[in-house]
Amino acid sequence: MLDEMMKQGYQCAIAFYNEKCVGVIGMWILTKFYVGKHIEYDNFYVIPAFRHKGIGNQILKMVNDYAKEQGCVAAELTCDILDHESERFWEKLNHTSIGHRYQKSLICNNKLSNQ
């Protein structure tokens, strides 16, 4: 799916420590009526042994600086409603929950990856 995603503007930022990948975040730059031009974080992950060391903050600062350079006015993300650790992380970084995201499969007899 990565090839198709990249055709639609998907990008990644990767954090390295001693030439080892320790964190990654995917992102899209989108425009929506209710928020305008914004960056949407996607698939953000830091290896557990490297968490709580500021790496996630550094990745987000770099991504948000890039987004501002691209004219984005906000950042958005989807967080699993049962992932309380992630909720605390995003809230600590001044992200506000603005609603729920719903999903429906459009293909008969096909389950989406998160169902």
Residue 9 is assigned to a structural domain of this protein:
yes
Say how many domains are in the chain: 1
List C-alpha distances in Å: 18 to 21, 22, 26, 36.
Answer: 8, 9, 21, 38
Segments forming the whole domain that contains residue 84: 2-92
Residue 100 is assigned to a structural domain of this protein:
no
Residue 77 is assigned to a structural domain of this protein:
yes
CATH code (residue 12): 3.40.630.30
Global confidence as pTM: 0.81
Residue 17 is assigned to a structural domain of this protein:
yes
Q: pLDDT means per 10 residues in the chain (115 residues)?
A: 92 95 96 95 94 93 96 92 87 87 78 57
Q: How far is CA 109 from the centre of its chain?
A: 28
